[in-house]
Structure formats: structure tokens, C-alpha cells
């Protein structure tokens, strides 16, 4: 497997506005409640690493409308369920950032909270909380013989992105099916507690801090292969996530305001993120000279 990621970030940015891209994330039996494109599903270990790093406020849940298969009613909506309880992913928040993927003119596009808008590199690439899914991408797609984001970029924008499509030998972290429960697919234990408008907020892309913390805490306190949730870990993760005041959380509101008023200048990342403590990225010249 070999990819050319320079000036791409196709798997970190919602670039649907730049090309006539089909809604491929909507394929399959379950439809996300939210409209986030390419949400990175975090493992339980990823979730814990973000909470421990004080980055609990960078995560957000995903639930699905149940078209078929097991479901449970939440606030009058049928959502996908495991063992009669709402199933969910935890992913990273996307915010409008001024980015110029594929050498296009800069524009405001929904972008992963951790992408440096100027270099289009990941700010946590070398950190312990770098998600397993990001580190493996697009290896799982190649192993399963499904289209990669790199190929979608090639098809809709041009260029060569997927330079070697040989699947990696190591695919142990695939986590699909029953073994994903408690490790990547989590289960919210008390569906009745979610009957407070949560579904409408997720559909609107406006979960509250409390909404996000509730799901992050359950994921952090889950156990592989079961729907069990450890109460003390859950409480600790909930408090840590609600208390989190990271550069990500502080930048989110600023980006949202600027997207309504400012020209899309990628250099704003310095003021909005780096000045609040975001890790710097090396740039592509530095990587080429390594």
C-alpha cells in the first residue's frame, strides 16, 4: 500500500462541494443521523487516549436511523440497536475551515478538527491519540476490496493518489461484526435518558457538550465483546470530557464564527489553532527532505 497525500486530505475534509461526489457514506442498510462525511470511527482505546490527553471535547457521537435490522425507539425515532440499546460510533468533530485541497482555491469546507488547514497535514500524526483508523487508512478498504477515498479523489478530481493497492498484511484492527461491540461500536445503556431531543440535535449537527460527553463516557467505559459499561470509568470519563477545555474545543466556535464572515484564508490556522496550543505540522518540504 502506498498513497500520495500531499495537498489531498480527501479523507479528512468533506470535499463534496468540490466535485459531483455520490453520497457513498449513505450506502448500506444504516443511514447516519448526522451529515458528517468520512467520520473516523474511533476505537475504545482511541477514545480513552483523547480523554486522557484532555481532548474529550474533540469527539462526537454518531447514531443511525434503522432502515432494517434491530432497532429501538428514541424520542419517536427508530435508531439502530444492539441488544435493544442504541448503537453508536464515536468520531472526531468536523468544523468549517479554510482549506484548499487538490490545489483548488481556498474555501470553507467541513474539516477534521485536527487537520492543519494550511499544510493539510494531521496535527496529531505522531501523538499517542492518533486514531488507529487514520493510521491504517486505506488499508482496511484494500483488504475488503472496497473503493478507497484516494480512488474517489482520483476519479472526481484527478491525479494519482493510490500508488500501490496491495493490501497490508496486518488487518487485525478491522473490527467489523460482533467483535466490534465494545471496541468500535458502542451501546448506550439507557435509551430512555436520550428522549430529550437528542436525535433532533444530532440531525441538526448541534449536539451539546453534555450530549457528546454522555456518549464519550460510555465508549471509554465499554468492554470488548460485550455491552457492559463500567460505572466508575464512565463517571470519570464523563467528568473529564465535560471539563475538557482543549484548543480544539476553543477553536470550534471561532471557526464557526469566521466561516460566516471571513475570507477563506488557510493561514488563519495560525491564529485560530496554533495560538491556542495546537501542535504545528512540518509541511511537505520537510517530509520530502527526510
Q: Cα dihedral angle (79, 85, 90, 93), rounded to 10 degrees?
A: 40
Q: If binding means CB under 6 A, how many residues of this protein chain bind ligand SF4?
A: 23
Which residues, 227 to 246, sit near ligand SF4 by CB under 6 A? none
Which residues, 164 to 203, sit near ligand SF4 by CB under 6 A? none
Find out whether 78 and 48 touch, Cβ atoms under 8 Å: no
Which residues, 150 to 169, sit near ligand SF4 by CB under 6 A? 150, 153, 161
For position 41 contacting ligand SF4 by CB under 6 A, the verdict is no
For position 42 contacting ligand SF4 by CB under 6 A, the verdict is no
- Shortest distance (Å) from residue 167 CB to ligand SF4: 14
For position 8 contacting ligand SF4 by CB under 6 A, the verdict is yes
- Shortest distance (Å) from residue 149 CB to ligand SF4: 4
Closest by Cα among 283, 216, 256 to 110 = 256
What's the Cα-to-Cα distance from 72 to each of 16, 68, 287, rounded to whole Å? 31, 11, 48
Site string for ligand SF4, 104-133 (x = CB under 6 A): --------x-xx------x-x------x--
DSSP the chain: -EE--TT--TTTB--GGGTT---GGG-SSEEESS--SS--PPPHHHHHHHHHTT-GGGEEEE-EEESSSSEEEETTEEEEEETTEEEEEEEE-EEEEEE-GGGPPPEEEEEETTEETTTTEETTTTSTTS-HHHHHTTHHHHHHT---HHHHHHHHT-S--EEE-PPPS--TT---GGGGBTTTBEE-S-GGGGTTTHHHHHHTT---HHHHHHHHHHHHTB-TTS--B-HHHHHHHHHHHHH---HHHHHHHHHHHHHHHS---TTHHHHHTGGGTPPP---HHHHHT-
For position 5 contacting ligand SF4 by CB under 6 A, the verdict is yes
**Of the ranges 10-18, 63-71, 102-110, 271-279, which one interacts with ligand SF4 (CB under 6 A)?**
10-18
Which residues make beta-bridge pairs with 62? 89
**Of the ranges 5-13, 229-237, 239-247, 251-259, which one interacts with ligand SF4 (CB under 6 A)?**
5-13
Strand bridging mode 64-66 / 94-99: unpaired
User: Which of residues 1, 18, 33, 40 is near ligand SF4 by CB under 6 A?
Assistant: 40
**Of the ranges 21-29, 71-79, 149-157, 186-194, which one interacts with ligand SF4 (CB under 6 A)?**
149-157
User: Which of residues 42, 134, 187, 219 is near ligand SF4 by CB under 6 A?
Assistant: 134
Nearer CB in complex with ligand SF4: 99/229: 99
Site string for ligand SF4, 209-228 (x = CB under 6 A): --------------------
User: Which of residues 92, 142, 216, 217 is near ligand SF4 by CB under 6 A?
Assistant: 92
Nearer CB in complex with ligand SF4: 33/124: 124
Nearer CB in complex with ligand SF4: 81/90: 90
Binding site for ligand SF4 (CB under 6 A): 3-5, 8-12, 40, 92, 112, 114-115, 122, 124, 131, 134, 137-138, 149-150, 153, 161
Amino acid at each position: 500500500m502506498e498513497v500520495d497525500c500531499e495537498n489531498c486530505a480527501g479523507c479528512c475534509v468533506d470535499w463534496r462541494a468540490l466535485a459531483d461526489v455520490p453520497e457513498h457514506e449513505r450506502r448500506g442498510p444504516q443511514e447516519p443521523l448526522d451529515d458528517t462525511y468520512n467520520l473516523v470511527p474511533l476505537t475504545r482505546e482511541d477514545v480513552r487516549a483523547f480523554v486522557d490527553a484532555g481532548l474529550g471535547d474533540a469527539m462526537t457521537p454518531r447514531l443511525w436511523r434503522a432502515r432494517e435490522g434491530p432497532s429501538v425507539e428514541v424520542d419517536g425515532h427508530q435508531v439502530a440497536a444492539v441488544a435493544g440499546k442504541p448503537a453508536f460510533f464515536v468520531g472526531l468533530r468536523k468544523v468549517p475551515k479554510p482549506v484548499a485541497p487538490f490545489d483548488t482555491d481556498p474555501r470553507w469546507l467541513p474539516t477534521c478538527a485536527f487537520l492543519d488547514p494550511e499544510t493539510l497535514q494531521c496535527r496529531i500524526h505522531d501523538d499517542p491519540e492518533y486514531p488507529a483508523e487514520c493510521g491504517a487508512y486505506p488499508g482496511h478498504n484494500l483488504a475488503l476490496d472496497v473503493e478507497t477515498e484516494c480512488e474517489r479523489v482520483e476519479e472526481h478530481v484527478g491525479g494519482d493518489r493510490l500508488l500501490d493497492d496491495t493490501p497490508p498484511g496486518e488487518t487485525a484492527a478491522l473490527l467489523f461484526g460482533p467483535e466490534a461491540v465494545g471496541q468500535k461500536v458502542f451501546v448506550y445503556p439507557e435509551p430512555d435518558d436520550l428522549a430529550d431531543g437528542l436525535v433532533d440535535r444530532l440531525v441538526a449537527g448541534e449536539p451539546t457538550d453534555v450530549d457528546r460527553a454522555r456518549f464519550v463516557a460510555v465508549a471509554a467505559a465499554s468492554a470488548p465483546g460485550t455491552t457492559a459499561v463500567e460505572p466508575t470509568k464512565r463517571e470519570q470519563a464523563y467528568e473529564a470530557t465535560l471539563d475538557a477545555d482543549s484548543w480544539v474545543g476553543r477553536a470550534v466556535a471561532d471557526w464557526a464564527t469566521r466561516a460566516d464572515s471571513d475570507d477563506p484564508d488557510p493561514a488563519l490556522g495560525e491564529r485560530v489553532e496554533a495560538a491556542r496550543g495546537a501542535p504545528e505540522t512540518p509541511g511537505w518540504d520537510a517530509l520530502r527532505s527526510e
